[in-house]
Amino acid sequence: MQCELCGKETAKLLTSRIEGVEMQVCEDCAKFGTTIQNYSRMPEVKGGRSRRGGEYPSSSSRPKRPRKDLFDTLKIVVEDYGNIIKQAREKRGQTLKELAKQVGIKESTLHKIERNELEPEEKYVKRLEKELKITLYEGSSEEYEHGTSDKEYTLGDMIKIKKR
Ligand SMILES: [Zn+2]
């Protein structure tokens, strides 16, 4: 048997209404029209309701957001990190030498950092932040997370509303 639309030889022809014309077509071409016979047996129509919302994959297959991890590696040190470190250190009455020893940085390196001549490496930033109880990174990941969860809330909330 031959498909009236594409001419392909096929064992199974379906009656499909394509642009108002009933045709005997193969399964592939039946997708272009409204299938009259075997409608319920069309494999393509399974889960037909979810096809309409095809933009949203099911929650189980939704990819995990890598954005938070990405953001963690893209931290930007504040512009006046040197001043912040110096002021925090002086507040504690520590000498440059003492703080350098505590954080594990060379005194000369820390001196450069305090003069804004050298941006501290991430591991040193973390230690300095912890030691001096200061913040050296711009922006807060909390704010970022908040924006993300807002979006998820909207999606999840919509599903809840639909279920009611
Ligand atoms: Zn065909």
Q: How far is CA 164 from the centre of its chain?
A: 29
Name the band, by pLDDT with cuts 50, 70 and 90, for residue 149: very low
CA of 113 to the centre of ligand 1 (A): 72
pLDDT at 112: 97
Phi and psi for 139 in degrees, rounded to 5? 70, 160
pLDDT, mean of residues 26-30: 90
Neighbouring-strand partners of residue 70: none
Tell me how far apart the alpha carbons of residues 35 and 32 are, in angstroms, rounded to a whole number.
9
Spell out the domains of the chain, with CATH numbers in brackets. 1-40 (no CATH), 81-145 (1.10.260.40)
The pTM (predicted TM-score) of the whole model is 0.43
pLDDT, mean of residues 44-60: 51
pLDDT at 95: 97
CA of 67 to the centre of ligand 1 (A): 45
Q: Which residues surround ligand 1, an ion (CB under 5 A)?
A: 3, 5-6, 8, 25-26, 29
